[in-house]
């Protein structure tokens, strides 16, 4: 059991023998990727968070891009943005803390309107989600009357409310083809839309949004990585540019990449995605060597253990979605769920 959290005393955040004993099993879990000298900094916050969330009937949802000490030591549910929201809705917890970015907290609120949803840093945004607004979607409808619009789940509640259906990176092709239309607008990620276009006969109209993590990778980087490493397996996220996907051995969602490692057990692998994803998958598959040229998401890294603790102590910052917007956004998500959610 974790020691009781004394919220009135800063001493409760000291690395005491009791905290060391209580958190030792958690450190064993992350020892491969968290230096031992860092653990005395993390451990008091981990102990305090785990004690406090039990007191408050709270759960922490952590995206795959969160740092290992969050993902493996305080999170109750881990995964991609949609799976977090869906699993969070199934819990009996009254409070959800989203260790992710703002659109993910909105999605959690849409699927759990009766729960309090907190984000530890309200500035944790997303370049992709912020590349399009509800007004942009309405203008697209005027420009392409009658053409159905598919929105990636990595969008705001406002955008989800304006489109016909949502998709994930795993089921985007399936969703597009389910509409039975000769052409479809896919937004906001241009590279994901181009990937969909390469795998379907449906004409795809794209938007110009990009993920600032994935757009920085290049095909030349992948070719250089392969030099002298004939057995290197390259797994890439479909938010990457087309020249990157052309060099990859496998293209798939975050869940799909993790599954690939588990199923195929490559000797050496590189995940072309956010840095912490590699750390978290490496913990799960210690027999695999992970090559780590990766890009950090500055927005995900705004979420820290001290901020999670502060969110629980102060009930901030609460994420709200207007009821009518939430209703319409939920319909877009539910239409997607009716199509299905393959993992890869």
The domain spans of the chain are: 10-124+300-314, 129-211, 214-291
**pLDDT tens for each residue of 199-212:** 999 999 999 999 99
Q: Tell me the helices (H) and strands (E) count for the chain, helix number first.
A: 15, 12
% of the chain at pLDDT higher than 90: 91
| Cα distances (angstroms) measured from residue 100 to each of 107, 125, 169, 203, 331 | 11, 9, 17, 33, 23
Radius of gyration of the chain (CA): 21
Average pLDDT over residues 144-172: 97
3-state secondary structure of 99: strand
When pLDDT is cut at 50, 70 and 90, the band that residue 54 belongs to is very high
Query: In angstroms, rounded to a whole number, what is the distance separating the alpha carbons of residues 122 and 124?
Result: 5
| Cα distances (angstroms) measured from residue 107 to each of 9, 49, 85, 261 | 35, 23, 6, 28
The architecture (CATH level 2) of 10-124+300-314 comes to 3-Layer(aba) Sandwich (3.40)
pLDDT value for 344: 41
Angle between helices 81-90 and 102-111 (to 10 degrees): 40
* Model-wide pTM > 0.85: yes
Whether 214-291 and 10-124+300-314 are alike in CATH topology: the answer is yes
Residue 291 φ/ψ, nearest 5 degrees: -85, 135
pLDDT value for 82: 86
Q: Which fold has domain 129-211?
A: Rossmann fold (3.40.50)
The more confidently predicted of residues 229 and 138 is 138
pLDDT at 216 exceeding the cut of 50: yes
pLDDT value for 3: 52
| Cα distances (angstroms) measured from residue 313 to each of 115, 140, 226 | 17, 43, 48
State the average pLDDT for the chain. Answer: 94
Average pLDDT over residues 23-29: 98
Query: In angstroms, rounded to a whole number, what is the distance separating the alpha carbons of residues 290 and 5?
Result: 37
pLDDT value for 8: 46
pLDDT value for 342: 67
Average pLDDT over residues 224-236: 91
When pLDDT is cut at 50, 70 and 90, the band that residue 2 belongs to is low
Domain 214-291 has CATH 3.80.30.20: no
Average pLDDT over residues 48-58: 97
């Amino acid at each position: 059991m974790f020691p009781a959290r004394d919220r009135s005393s800063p001493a409760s955040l000291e690395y005491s023998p009791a905290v060391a004993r209580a958190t030792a099993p958690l450190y064993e879990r992350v020892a491969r990727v968290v230096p031992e000298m860092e653990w005395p900094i993390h451990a008091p916050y981990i102990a305090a968070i785990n004690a406090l969330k039990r007191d408050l009937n709270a759960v922490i949802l952590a995206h795959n891009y969160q740092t290992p000490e969050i993902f493996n030591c305080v999170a109750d549910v881990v995964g991609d943005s949609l799976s977090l929201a869906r699993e969070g809705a199934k819990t009996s917890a009254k409070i959800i803390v989203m260790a992710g970015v703002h659109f993910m907290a909105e999605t959690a609120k849409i699927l759990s309107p009766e729960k309090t949803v907190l984000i530890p840093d309200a500035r944790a945004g997303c370049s992709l989600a912020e590349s399009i607004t509800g007004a942009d979607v309405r203008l697209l409808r005027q420009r392409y009357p009658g053409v159905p619009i598919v929105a990636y789940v990595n969008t705001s509640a406002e955008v989800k409310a304006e489109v016909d259906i949502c998709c994930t990176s795993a089921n985007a092709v399936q969703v597009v083809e389910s509409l039975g239309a000769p052409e479809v607008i896919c937004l906001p990620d241009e590279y994901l839309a181009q990937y969909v276009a390469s795998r379907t006969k449906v004409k795809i109209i794209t938007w110009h949004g990009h993920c600032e993590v994935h757009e920085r990778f290049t095909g030349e980087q992948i070719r250089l990585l392969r030099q002298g490493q004939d057995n290197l397996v390259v797994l890439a996220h479909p938010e990457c540019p087309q020249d990157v996907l052309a060099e990859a051995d496998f293209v798939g969602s975050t869940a799909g990449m993790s599954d690939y490692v588990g199923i195929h057990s490559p000797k050496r692998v590189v995940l072309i995605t956010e840095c912490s994803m590699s750390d978290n998958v490496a913990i799960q598959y210690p027999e695999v060597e992970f090559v780590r040229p990766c890009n950090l998401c500055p927005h995900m890294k705004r979420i820290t253990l001290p901020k999670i603790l502060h969110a629980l102590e102060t009930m901030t910052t609460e994420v709200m979605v207007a009821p009518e917007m939430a209703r319409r956004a939920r319909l877009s998500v539910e239409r997607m769920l009716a199509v299905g959610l393959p993992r890869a």
